[in-house]
Every structure is written in structure tokens, then in C-alpha cells.
Amino acid sequence: MDDDEQKQSVTPRLTIPINGPLDRKKNSWDDPKPFDELPPEVQAMLLRRAEQKDKGKSTLEILEGKHVMSCLLFIEEKEPVLKSDIYNNISRSAGMVEKINDLCELGLICIYETARTHSNVIVLTDKGHRAVKVIRRLIDLADEPIREIR
């Protein structure tokens, strides 16, 4: 095969346009499809997602959240604690406010607002104390040495 034949057999290399779109598709944000034109299974999925969003988080989702169990253990160890103590010792993230409120809604903690200092004092409820006992048992179980299975 000579050089001319080799050059003809090689497919031309495509280039990416620098100043234009990679393809001819339109941006879906600029031209969205109406809900009625979507396939029925896609419509059903979108409706389910909207319903789940409205319901809020499940108890498991709340307890799985970052710093939630650490927060419960900290409150149990130091109670009564100020909200600011939790922020200083556990996490200063913006999501901690919501996590503390979620724990209150679950009935695991109680938040008392003081009149003079405008501080929020947090204590565990009876249910919260029982939950912390379960968390401690889970930690103890996980820390046990692994026994051989026979």
C-alpha cells in the first residue's frame, strides 16, 4: 500500500467547534417539553418525586444525617446544653439548625427558650434517653471483636 492509498483509507478526523454547540440539540431549559407530552412513565415518576418532597424526610433519613447521632450523644453527656454548645462542639454547618429541629419534631429532644438571655437550652426527652441507649448498644456491638463463624 503506497502513501496515497493509505491517506485515502484513513477517515477524516472530526473537530469540536469552539464557538458553537457540540450538536444541534436545543437547550431543554430554553425550550422545555410540556408535561402532557412526556411519556406516561416519566409523568408518573415526576409526580412521585413531587409527593415525596412534600412529605419531608423519613425518620431513618433524619437519623442517618451527618452529626445527628453525635449530637444526641453530646446532649446526653452534657445536658442541659445550649444550642451554641452544639454548634461549637459538633458542627457549625447551616444544616444543624434543621437537624436540631428535626430531633425536636421526632420527640427526642426538647428545646426551651430562656427569657432573659434569649438562649435555647436543649435536653433529651425520655424517648431521647432511650434512643441514646440504643445508639450506645449499637456502638458497643460494632466495637466487639469479630468471632469466627463455625
Domains present along the chain, CATH in parentheses: 61-143 (1.10.10.10)
Q: Tens of pLDDT along 26-85?
A: 666 677 778 888 888 888 888 888 777 666 788 888 888 899 999 999 999 998 999 999
What pTM did the predictor assign? 0.61
Q: Is the pLDDT of residue 9 over 70?
A: no
Q: Is the pLDDT of residue 8 over 90?
A: no
CB under 8 Å to 84, separation ≥6 — which residues?
Answer: 119
